[in-house]
Amino acid sequence: MKRLTKLYQVTETQTALQMGSGDLEVLATPALVAMMENCAKLLIAPEFSAEHTSVGFKMELKHLAPTAVGSEVKVEAQIEEADKNKISFSIKAFDKEQLIGEAFHQRVIVETAAFLKKLK
């Protein structure tokens, strides 16, 4: 299956305290979700024409361990299934020491102009 590994640096703006999702100066779950979605998006982006893109549809995440500001996070996204316009991924994230998160993620392929017309 197709796979991509990408490295991310945890910044002060990505902490649970700064993002409002918690009280500690550690990697926030929403920031981990963003890293994982970004890796999945980048994995499939070369397949699209200029008129198409992918959007996040579903994310099931287990955030398993805290990660300090300044740490490097390695995210590995792998395509598990592609069905018409929906692509399913398994995603894992690691710091230097351990597995910090794992997720099941789905993205939907959309025509950009038609998708944006849905904005009111």
- At residue 120, the pLDDT reads 77
- At residue 39, the pLDDT reads 98
- At residue 28, the pLDDT reads 98
User: What's the CA gap between 86 and 106, in Å, rounded?
Assistant: 7
Which residue numbers in the chain have pLDDT < 70?
none
pLDDT, tens only, 72-106: 999 999 999 999 999 999 999 999 999 999 999 99
Domains identified in the chain and CATH numbers: 3-116 (3.10.129.10)
Mean pLDDT of the chain: 97
The answer to whether 96 and 106 have CB atoms below 8 angstroms apart is no
Q: By three-state DSSP, how is residue 103 classified?
A: strand
- At residue 23, the pLDDT reads 98
- At residue 48, the pLDDT reads 87
Taking the model in full, what pTM does it have? 0.95
Q: Radius of gyration of the chain from Cα atoms? A: 15
